[in-house]
Amino acid sequence: MSGTYLLQNLIDGISLGSIYALVAIGFSMTYSILRLINFAHGDILMIGAYSGLFIMVAWQLPLWASLLGAMIFAAFVGMLVERIAYRPLRGSNEEATLITSLAVSIFIENLGIMVLSPQPRGFAIPKFLTKLHTINEITISNMTILIISLAIILMLVLTYFVICTRMGVAMRACSENINAARLMGVNINKVVACAFAVGSGMAAVAGIMLAGQYGRIEPLMGFVPGLKAFIAAVIGGIGSIPGAALGGYVLGLSEILLVALLPAAYSGYRDAFVFIILILVLLFKPAGLLGTLEGRKV
Amino acid sequence: MKKITAFLLTLVMVFAMAGCGEQKDAAKDNEAAAGETIKVGAIFNLTGAQASLDGPSLNGFKLAAKEINAKGGVLGKQIEVISIDGKTDQTSATNAALKLAEEDKVVAMAGFSDSNYALAAGPTAQEAGIPFITTGATLPSLPEQVGDYFFLAPFGDDAQAYAAADYAVEKLGSKTAYILKDTAMDFTMNLAAYFEERFKKYNGEDAILLEDTFKTNDQDYSAQINRLKAMKTKPELLFISSGPSDCGIIVKQVREAGIDIPIISGDGFDTPLLIELGGEGANVDTYFATHTCLTNEKELVKNFVTAYQEEYSREPENGFAALGYDTMYLIADAIERANSEDPTAIRDAIAETQGFEAVTGTISYEPGNRVPKKSVSVLKVEDGKFAFVEEVTP
Amino acid sequence: MLELNDINVYYGKIHAVKNISLKIKKGELVALLGANGAGKTTTLRTISGMLRAKSGSIIFDGQDINKIEAHKIVAMGLAHCPEGRQVFSRLSVLENLKIGAFLRKDHKKIEKDLELVYSLFPVLAERKNQSAGTLSGGEQQMLAIGRSLMSNPSLLLFDEPSLGLAPIIIEKIFEVIKELKNEGKTILLVEQNAYNALAIADRGYVLETGNIKLSGEAGDLLANDEVKKAYLGG
């Protein structure tokens, strides 16, 4: 095994991890405020990818417009889902919201199958993105560069939003103590809607990146990334935004590196590795890498 | 109370949508009442990873039924196709077979392009004593595993894997190969094993330089590709044993990584997704062995392509459309010869089929063998289309 | 200014507050006394919109606020400083104070109020960039009070501000509450520490198992034998 082999796999792992991280962040945001495990989050990713494709193909707009449009549309859908499915259940136990989110997920997937056909489609990205750069036997496409840098940019923007803006501070306050936040005059519905919008927007970007990288789009495409993002969020410490990002990278890197470093016969078991990593992390850090175990005040 | 209502409402909506899976087609005559039609069950995976093979297959199946009905049906009765979505899920497949046997009382069943699902539905039909012909599952041991009511319409995996190996060695001159196989499907595991066996016979025990694995819908194959790229001795051929939902993405990612070695595979590649998802990459030296080539000049093939185009306003997507079409005719032929609607009589008639001319080749079942001996077509991707290369009988 | 008329509040099936009526006039400091579980906190949470009264009305500044959402009640000028401090421990002291002024847009006035809080509790100014979780219990209580002042309320609800604090800090807290009253704020103070509360209050109510048992001028209550026996350790 050579250094270039390792480096090549590192790059691919970071690229995959970036996508997981973007999805996991949204997952963690809504969990931190509502203690809601939103299994429909992956399906928002699918909606983002399809709307991105629609903007590029039907309206012939460039990629940046498609990204922006998909973010806005997915944010809108995310808020709509929250308003219709989750808000009526606010204050009920976690099991009820969990089951509801599963129902929403099945609903969106079946709606997708009916409206969009169950057949996978190709997702063509602009030519310049498929261009390969080869340095020292390491190949990296413009698409990979875009994925990695876009994820970093979005995370920086999110960091600014959460630390410096009024809504961001309110969001952090809500994630810590939603009732105290209400007493400060924070409109919980607005904060929750905002968290759904931001998380869904990031999922939409992840959806387009995923579809672009692998060239495929289908109504059930969100299921696996949604599940992986949930695992990433748990690895990083569910409810913690930096934890979700870290968990995403850890997961992406370990998936690729384990396949790369173990004998070829084990390559088919990458999803099993994912769960082994999850179990190991939870064994040594039950709250996740960056999470804190805390009692919640009512 | 409000919460419970909302929750129930969501559930109802979900199940209402999930329940849309089943469709009944009175193939021609809508007023055909029960008893006046001959019911034939069709279980295909219309959703999920198998959809791109099974969808066209069902279309071909229904098209044949329509043609037969237009000519007066069989035994003076119209054929009614009862189709259920197997959802690329083994439990759904078993349930579908159970429903067709118990409720609809079909005289024969057909379906599936993958052995896992045929294995899930087959035993139910066997127990009920109803013949099951798989339109596209190619595991040669299937009839032995399921029983004497189970038949293959296509050739077995051994035939297509041998044809691929023969072509690679004789025409492409490959001396060494790399195998990438999906460990989640019996089909891909078997196909790889048969290929390996044949390829080693030609080129010696060390001819397979590396055998790597993945799982259906892994989506990211970069680690495997990196390992392939890092190989000291480069193989002369890539044998990619994958199903329809992965083949395009694998080819795309392999080619994007700058690997130009010829790729060859079996009928899992016979899907529009190879071209749609593989993009430019599929145009580079990509071959596969399958059931038929739709650009073949044979009369039967041309007629089928024209009829399919008229019915569905598009060309048949792949060889599986033809397999579905052939299977319906095969069933109708057996009913006619049995001169009976009794499933056991029909089974016996199927088993006696000899020299049945079909779009995908001539079907004959040798005594005791329920896998037909058929020719294999080798196809190549050219300018975003499947092109015929040669037809062989391995 | 605030008037509760026959309110009934339930926690699930538990009837926590029974037919309570009370009245606070502008500029008054009213103490709400009672043992643990008497319904004091429930009453406060109902006033601030965290809970809904099943029947009865809550009139604040001439408007029934029983059906109004919590954040809108804050906007009307009512601040509730909750039991057990409930500062946002992962936020900095300054962020805690700023979120107190969440609904306000008058930035200059906010800065002024911030200075006011710092002058009441100078220790908060020293620690403004520290996360609130690192403060001592007394400092956290000061932060909680400061935070509730940041919405510039006309009516303040304090829930057990002396709970679990050292006597010297308790003294300081009550001093500040008195000062706030002198500045013209209307205050409803819930306390178990009845002596300290009645010492600064104008009037008082005594709750027992969800009912109002006694009410009257603070001085009269202090002198009342029953109150003495039950709450003043005498």
Q: Name the band, by pLDDT with cuts 50, 70 and 90, for residue C233.
A: low
What range does the domain containing A132 cover?
3-222
Structure tokens at B368: 């005791």
Query: What does the pLDDT average to over B314-328?
Result: 92
Inspect the interface and report whether the beta carbons of A180 and C86 lie closer than 8 Å. yes
CA distances from A88 to A47, A92, B15, C10 (A): 23, 9, 20, 20
Structural domain includes residue A116: yes
Structural domain includes residue B13: no
Q: How many residues does chain C have?
A: 234
Structural domain includes residue A196: yes
> Are the C-beta atoms of A255 and A159 separated by less than 8 Å?
no
Name the residue with tokens 């060309």: B315
Inspect the interface and report whether the beta carbons of A110 and B17 lie closer than 8 Å. yes
The tally of domains found in chain A comes to 1
Q: What is the DSSP string of A79-132?
A: HHHIIIIIGGGTTS-HHHHHHHHHHHHHHHHHHHHHHH-SS-EE----HHHH-E
Enter the ipTM. 0.89
Residue A297 is predicted with a pLDDT of: 35
Look at residue C206 and tell me whether its pLDDT is greater than 50.
Answer: yes
Among residues A86, A52, A79, A54, the alpha carbon closest in space to that of A212 is found at A52
User: B242 with B386, same domain?
Assistant: yes
Positive or negative, the CA dihedral C165, C166, C167, C170 is negative
Name the residue with tokens 């051929």: B237
Q: Angle at Cα A258 formed by Cα A254 and Cα A262, nearest 5°?
A: 170
Within 13 Å, how many C-alpha atoms sit on residue B191's CB side? 33
Contacts of B285 (CB under 8 A, 6+ apart): B260, B261, B262, B263
Residue B306 exposed, middle or buried by CB count within 10 Å (0-12, 13-18, 19+) = exposed
Among residues A105, A123, A122, the alpha carbon closest in space to that of A224 is found at A105
Residue A118 is predicted with a pLDDT of: 76
Q: What is the pLDDT of residues C17-50, one digit of tens each?
A: 999 999 999 999 999 988 888 889 999 999 999 9
Evaluate whether chains A and C are touching (3 or more beta carbon pairs less than 8 Å apart).
Answer: yes
Contacts of A79 (CB under 8 A, 6+ apart): A193, A196, A197, A200
Among residues B39, B79, B81, the alpha carbon closest in space to that of B58 is found at B81
Q: Name the band, by pLDDT with cuts 50, 70 and 90, for residue B35.
A: low
Structural domain includes residue A279: no
User: B356 with B262, same domain?
Assistant: no
Give A147→chain B minimum CA distance, Å. 14
Bigger pLDDT: B367 vs A154? A154
> Are the C-beta atoms of C34 and C206 separated by less than 8 Å?
yes
Q: What is the pLDDT of residues B377-390, one digit of tens each?
A: 899 999 888 988 88
* Cα–Cα dist C193/A55, whole Å: 66
Touching check for A287 and chain C: CB below 8 Å? no
Q: How many residues does chain A have?
A: 298
Give B219→chain A minimum CA distance, Å. 7
Structure tokens at A102: 């599963």
Query: What does the pLDDT average to over B142-157?
Result: 92
> Are the C-beta atoms of B308 and B316 separated by less than 8 Å?
yes
Residue C141 is predicted with a pLDDT of: 94
Structural domain includes residue B11: no
User: B49 with B130, same domain?
Assistant: yes
> Are the C-beta atoms of A241 and A158 separated by less than 8 Å?
yes
Residue A1 is predicted with a pLDDT of: 56
> Are the C-beta atoms of A248 and A18 separated by less than 8 Å?
yes
Residue B380 is predicted with a pLDDT of: 92
Give A291→chain B minimum CA distance, Å. 29
- Torsion of Cα atoms, B139 then B144 then B145 then B150, to 10°: 80
Contacts of C14 (CB under 8 A, 6+ apart): none
Structural domain includes residue A185: yes
Structural domain includes residue A33: yes
Residue B108 is predicted with a pLDDT of: 95
Touching check for A220 and chain B: CB below 8 Å? yes
Instruction: Find the CATH number of the domain harbouring C115.
Output: 3.40.50.300
Structural domain includes residue A106: yes
Structural domain includes residue B3: no
User: B163 with B286, same domain?
Assistant: yes
Q: Name the band, by pLDDT with cuts 50, 70 and 90, for residue C232.
A: low
Q: Kindly list the residues from chain B whose CB atom is less than 8 angstroms away from the CB atom of residue A265.
A: 211, 213
Closest residue in C to A298 (Cα) is C86
Backbone angles phi, psi at C18, to 5 degrees: -115, 115
Which strands make up the sheet holding C2-11, listed edge to edge?
C14-24, C2-11, C55-60, C63-64
The tally of domains found in chain B comes to 2
Q: What is the pLDDT of residues C116-127, one digit of tens each?
A: 999 999 999 999
Q: Which residues of chain A carry a pLDDT beneath 70?
A: 1, 293-298
Residue B160 exposed, middle or buried by CB count within 10 Å (0-12, 13-18, 19+) = buried
> Mean pLDDT over all residues of chain B?
87
Q: Which residues sit opposite B327 in a β-bridge?
A: none
User: B215 with B97, same domain?
Assistant: no
> Are the C-beta atoms of B385 and B275 separated by less than 8 Å?
yes
Residue B297 is predicted with a pLDDT of: 78
User: B138 with B72, same domain?
Assistant: yes
Touching check for A257 and chain B: CB below 8 Å? yes
Look at residue B26 and tell me whether its pLDDT is greater than 80.
Answer: no
CA distances from B32 to A221, B36, B81, B106 (A): 41, 6, 12, 15
Q: Kindly list the residues from chain A whose CB atom is less than 8 angstroms away from the CB atom of residue C151.
A: 184-185
> Are the C-beta atoms of B288 and B266 separated by less than 8 Å?
yes
Structural domain includes residue A295: no
* Cα–Cα dist A104/A42, whole Å: 11
Touching check for C99 and chain A: CB below 8 Å? yes
Structure tokens at B185: 């499907």
Name the residue with tokens 């259940």: A89
| Most C CBs within 10 Å, among A90, A177, A183, to test the C interface | A183
Considering only residues 95 to 134 of chain A, which have any Cβ-Cβ distance to chain B shorter than 8 Å? Answer: 96, 99-100, 103-104, 106-107, 110-111, 113-114, 118-122, 124, 130, 132, 134
Q: What is the DSSP string of B36-52?
A: SEEEEEEEE--SSTTHH
Instruction: Find the CATH number of the domain harbouring B93.
Output: 3.40.50.2300
Q: Kindly list the residues from chain C whose CB atom is less than 8 angstroms away from the CB atom of residue A179.
A: 50, 82, 86
Contacts of B103 (CB under 8 A, 6+ apart): none
Look at residue B23 and tell me whether its pLDDT is greater than 70.
Answer: no
Considering only residues 27 to 66 of chain C, which have any Cβ-Cβ distance to chain A shorter than 8 Å? Answer: 48-50
* Cα–Cα dist B281/B278, whole Å: 5
> Mean pLDDT over all residues of chain C?
91
- Chains near C (3 or more Cβ pairs under 8 Å): A
Exposure b/e, B138-159, CB count within 10 A at least 16 = b: bbbebbeebbebbbbbbbbbbb
User: B330 with B276, same domain?
Assistant: no
Structural domain includes residue C2: no
Query: What does the pLDDT average to over B25-32?
Result: 41
Query: What does the pLDDT average to over B229-241?
Result: 92
Query: What does the pLDDT average to over C78-106?
Result: 92
Name the residue with tokens 């020293």: C126
List the single residue in B218, B249, B277 with the smallest CB-CB distance to A270: B218
Q: Name the band, by pLDDT with cuts 50, 70 and 90, for residue B18.
A: very low
List the single residue in B7, B46, B214 with the smallest CB-CB distance to A267: B214
Look at residue C231 and tell me whether its pLDDT is greater than 80.
Answer: no
Residue C209 is predicted with a pLDDT of: 87
- Give the amino acid at B277: L
- Give the amino acid at A255: E
* Cα–Cα dist C30/C197, whole Å: 9
Backbone angles phi, psi at C207, to 5 degrees: -100, 140
> Are the C-beta atoms of A84 and A40 separated by less than 8 Å?
no
Residue B293 is predicted with a pLDDT of: 85
User: B115 with B174, same domain?
Assistant: no
| Most B CBs within 10 Å, among A1, A130, A214, to test the B interface | A214
> Are the C-beta atoms of A123 and A49 separated by less than 8 Å?
yes
Structural domain includes residue A114: yes
> Are the C-beta atoms of A166 and A174 separated by less than 8 Å?
no
Q: Which residues sit opposite B84 in a β-bridge?
A: B43
Inspect the interface and report whether the beta carbons of A257 and B223 lie closer than 8 Å. yes
What range does the domain containing B166 cover?
158-290+378-392
List the single residue in A166, A169, A184 with the smallest CB-CB distance to C74: A184
Inspect the interface and report whether the beta carbons of A297 and C84 lie closer than 8 Å. yes
> Are the C-beta atoms of B218 and A272 separated by less than 8 Å?
no
Inspect the interface and report whether the beta carbons of B256 and A257 lie closer than 8 Å. no
User: B201 with B136, same domain?
Assistant: no
Among residues C11, C82, C22, the alpha carbon closest in space to that of C53 is found at C11
The tally of domains found in chain C comes to 1
User: B115 with B135, same domain?
Assistant: yes
Q: Name the band, by pLDDT with cuts 50, 70 and 90, for residue C99.
A: very high
- Give the amino acid at A224: V
* Cα–Cα dist A12/A46, whole Å: 22
Look at residue B25 and tell me whether its pLDDT is greater than 80.
Answer: no
Structure tokens at C223: 């002198």
> Are the C-beta atoms of B142 and B372 separated by less than 8 Å?
no
Structural domain includes residue B84: yes
Query: What does the pLDDT average to over C61-65?
Result: 92
Structure tokens at A249: 């990278």
Structure tokens at B30: 């809508």
Structural domain includes residue B225: yes
Containing B150, the helix (H) or strand (E) segment is strand B150-152
Structural domain includes residue B318: yes
What range does the domain containing C150 cover?
28-48+80-231
Name the residue with tokens 């629609």: A54
Inspect the interface and report whether the beta carbons of A139 and B7 lie closer than 8 Å. no
Residue B393 is predicted with a pLDDT of: 78
Residue C208 is predicted with a pLDDT of: 87
User: B58 with B139, same domain?
Assistant: yes
Q: Name the band, by pLDDT with cuts 50, 70 and 90, for residue B36.
A: confident
> Are the C-beta atoms of A44 and A77 separated by less than 8 Å?
yes
- Give the amino acid at A180: A
Look at residue C57 and tell me whether its pLDDT is greater than 90.
Answer: yes
* Cα–Cα dist B173/C60, whole Å: 91
SS3 B368: coil
User: B248 with B336, same domain?
Assistant: no
> Are the C-beta atoms of B63 and B106 separated by less than 8 Å?
no
